[in-house]
Amino acid sequence: MKIVKEIGVFFALGLAAYGGSSYSIRLSQPAEVGGTQLKPGDYKVQVEGAKATIKGEGQTVETSVKVEDGSAKFPRTSVRYDTADGKYRMEQIQVGGTKTTLVFGNSNSGSKTAQPAVR
């Protein structure tokens, strides 16, 4: 019976890992990601492999994402933007309480001459 329990725990952990990660963010202003303009509000970001699905405020966006692990935990979740051309384009999310950074591959991002804004 012990083996069956261990297999069940292993299977459940495997499903959790396969299911990806989910994070909550709040946008304080309109922002573009994956070529789509998002309204200010609360969103859930579901990451599975190299794809992120962002849902909230009546919108759903799928875009490419790269998950990076840093050396220190972030004290809070923050969204970093590229502000070229006066538009806010979501570049990355630093997930509070973790070492995780989600880096987005925006389809319309041009030259990165402006410094990212943190909100």
Is the pLDDT at 107 greater than 90? The verdict is: no
Determine which of 54-63, 91-100, 104-113 has the lowest per-residue pLDDT on average: 104-113
Q: What pLDDT score was predicted for residue 88?
A: 94
pLDDT band with cut points at 50, 70 and 90 for residue 29: very high
Is the pLDDT at 108 greater than 60? The verdict is: no
Is the pLDDT at 63 greater than 90? The verdict is: yes
Q: What percent of the chain is modeled with pLDDT above 70?
A: 72
pTM for the model stands at 0.73
Q: What pLDDT score was predicted for residue 84?
A: 84
Taking all residues of the chain, what is their mean pLDDT, rounded to a whole number? Answer: 80
Q: Which residue has the tokens 């950074």?
A: 101
Is the pLDDT at 96 greater than 90? The verdict is: yes
Distance in angstroms (rounded) separating the CA atoms of residues 95 and 101? 6
Provide mean pLDDT across the span 70-86.
94
Q: Kindly provide the b/e burial profile for residues 76-99, where b requires at least 16 CB atoms within 10 angstroms of the residue's own CB.
A: ebebbbbebeeebbbbbbbbeeee
